[in-house]
Structure 1
């Protein structure tokens, strides 16, 4: 991984999750999609017909079991729609990480 700010994504906890870096400082947003409506994030969710949440340390795309537990090609097709849209929205590149890396970096897991 590099020191450059990147969106970090993976398949974990029955969904597609994305760690969103803070604009200033280091680390990731604890609430990447809170109580204020974000039409762009909702539009990205609509691309793949899922709801998007983000109160618990990561953007969470709530996928059906047929996607999360489906064939790799199904998950790849999902990511191929979502990742470029997120990159455009945030103006950052994205990188797939492992579930272990996700939990090591997750802002709520790292909280003392």
Structure 2
């Protein structure tokens, strides 16, 4: 896609808001391969998602070749006073392995 904002979390939030008919998702949880970037974490906060589960870290994503702002989600939530709960390290090794698979894909594009 050429939509730089089309991260998995953003796409999931868009679909959930459409399905629920609301922008408040306060009884919802999100599970994602990687720690949300600042854009995604802000959107998860705005949607009032209760819990975010993730495996790989932003640092892992950067090492895999993604152009990440290395601002950990936990720090962003602390600075902003957000009540969203983060649950890290869910299947972390398996999530990191997905980055390795992506790097080997002939159409992988680093950005």
TM-score, L = length of structure 1:
0.23
The structure richer in helix per residue is: 2
Q: Which structure would you say has the larger RCO, counting Cα contacts within 8 Å and 6 or more residues apart? A: 1
TM-score, L = length of structure 2:
0.23
